[in-house]
Amino acid sequence: MFNLNRNYPVSSDKADLYENLDAELKGLEIEDLLLVRSLIFNTKIDEFSTFTKDETLNNCLIYLDGCNISKKNNILEEALDSIINSRLNNDETEWINKNVSRRLEHYLRNKTYKHWIDTNSLSTKQKFKIAFRALMLEEDKIINMSAVRMRKIRDNWKKIEGLNEFKSIKKEDIKELLIYISAKFQKIQKNGDIDEYLSCDLDTLESALICLDSYSEDPAIRSFLIKPMLTNWTQKNRREKTNKKQKNFILAASTIKELKKLSETHELSETQIISLLIKQEANKGLYIEK
């Protein structure tokens, strides 16, 4: 036992020790209490249905009441030592503001997904701190190692929040784009490449970025996925707006050469040359016999 930050009177009485430990337990804030409860019950935080301070404390006390005095002291002292050792300095999480964006919330959840708790009784920052500490306790990486991990999460977020593959999309095109890429992301999610808890029925560009963050945080990999999507969508959108459709056909090499020459001579695109010739033939019937 570490007996961290304790100055109890020296006593051989186990009841006196438990009284001190019990008082320390009751004085804990909700973040510490949730961790103590998971340690006492030897289970994950999210396996409980209640996350308020009074209910969490009551769970702990009921469990301890079923143990003899020696076991109570051992369980409680070990749990308290662990959570004291796992506490974070305020400056380690000061980069997480009170008004957390949806994108940052999903990023924080992704980094601690095994221990994240879905509850409205705690702020996003509280949920992240609890889940992060639970993760560090599970991996037995505390104090210095947790600080290193936290800095890595912070620095990585600063890079990710600057990524926006949809910044060139016009406001009037957003709705149609979201419908198009929703179907693409849903297929990717079925393959297990996007977190299953996310909704790929996209309603905003931020929700699209959240799914893309889940797919990959590497700019090159993201670009490899999204660039062809945007290109195909742009072409599809353009054809629909101009009432034009793409047609593929094979031409002889000599015909391609002549088409290119006509295009250069008349300073028209090859598509325009073909359209004009077809239109003339349809109107005047100069070359094709009936």
- Condensed to tens digits (0 to 9), the pLDDT of residues 54-88 reads 999 999 999 999 999 999 889 999 999 888 888 88
Of 17-31, 70-84, 269-283, the least confident: 269-283
| DSSP character at residue 8 | P
More confident residue, 29 or 290: 29
pTM of the shown model: 0.74
- Euclidean distance between CA atoms 166 and 180, whole angstroms: 13
- Condensed to tens digits (0 to 9), the pLDDT of residues 150-197 reads 999 999 999 999 999 999 999 999 999 999 999 999 999 999 999 998
The percent of residues above 90 in pLDDT, for the chain, comes to: 51
The residue whose two tokens read 């947790």 is: 146
| DSSP character at residue 218 | -
Radius of gyration over every alpha carbon of the chain, rounded to an integer in angstroms: 31
What pLDDT score was predicted for residue 1?
36
- Euclidean distance between CA atoms 55 and 49, whole angstroms: 10
Q: Enumerate residues 6+ apart whose C-beta is below 8 A from 67.
A: 75
Reported as half-sphere exposure (CB side, CA atoms, 13 A), residue 118 has a value of: 4
| DSSP character at residue 30 | H
| DSSP character at residue 6 | -
